[in-house]
Amino acid sequence: MGRTGYRRRVLDSATLVPDSALLVPGAAGATEVLADARAAAVDAVRALVASGPARVVVVASSDADRMRPGPFAPTLAGAGLDDAALGWTAPGVDPGTHPGVTPTAVDAPAAAVALLLLAHAGWSGPVTLVEAAPPGDDAITRADGRAAELAALGAGVTAGPERVAVLVAGSLSARRGPDAALAEDPRAVAVDGGMLADLADAGPEARRRLATMAPDLARELTVTAWAPWQVAMGGVGPRTAVTAAVTHTGSPFGVTLAVVTWSTR
């Protein structure tokens, strides 16, 4: 026990869902896409909500590192979509809980998808949004300590006596096969297979491999889950026992999508 009178908690759970705007019903108009991924993501996030966390931390890739408290007003206008045509709506703000508070607009597509999914799953409690910059060409994202920096952010945002769940929005490689919008990369299949195996294992060595995946490789394969998942693993801690499940995988449109749950309870 520390001076604060409580033992520091690690996060209770971490859930990875796809960050594609097409996960939201109506994003493709009348065309039905990503139905299996959507069903698995909804089930996983409903289970996260049902576990009873005191707070949910949403982590997604964006153009810069930042952390913001809720409430939020997510929109997919940044992805060129009409919010009124979507099947999931932005969460309302209770004036009794947040008197005089104007929700913060969130138009980064990955974060907006996660927030819409969380609201659809029934969550109305506190939310913290963490956005993490993906690996790039600048000195910060190329530094050897980038994963450690993101893990430290995760440890800080989940620290405290309350139960915290983390919802990560991201995908694996986006260069998988001839249907990919980006040029096919022959390394994608092996990298995806290794990451999925480690996500399903979730033991100390598997977590070490996930943490030491080269940022340059993640950037070249457009693995948008790389930076957000480093944040989530920082909340887990290196010696915590984790129960893991991969409930969905697929590579529509050349992008590998997965739904993964980790629990430390």
pTM (predicted TM-score): 0.91
* Residue located via tokens 């993501």: 41
Q: Are 74 and 118 in contact (CB under 8 A)?
A: no
Q: Which residues pair with 127 in a beta bridge?
A: 56
Q: pLDDT for 164-196, tens place per residue?
A: 999 999 999 999 989 899 999 999 999 999 999
Q: pLDDT for 110-123, tens place per residue?
A: 999 999 999 999 99
State the burial class of residue 222 (Cβ atoms within 10 Å of its Cβ: 0-12, 13-18, 19+): buried
Predicted confidence pLDDT, tens digits, the chain (265 residues): 334 444 456 689 999 999 999 999 999 999 999 999 999 999 999 999 999 999 999 999 988 889 999 899 999 998 999 999 999 998 766 555 556 678 889 999 999 999 999 999 999 999 999 999 887 655 444 445 888 899 999 999 998 889 999 999 999 999 998 989 999 999 999 999 999 999 999 999 999 999 989 888 999 999 999 999 999 999 997 788 999 999 999 999 999 999 999 999 7
- List the 13-17 sheet strands across, edge first: 66-69, 127-132, 55-61, 164-169, 13-17, 257-263, 243-250
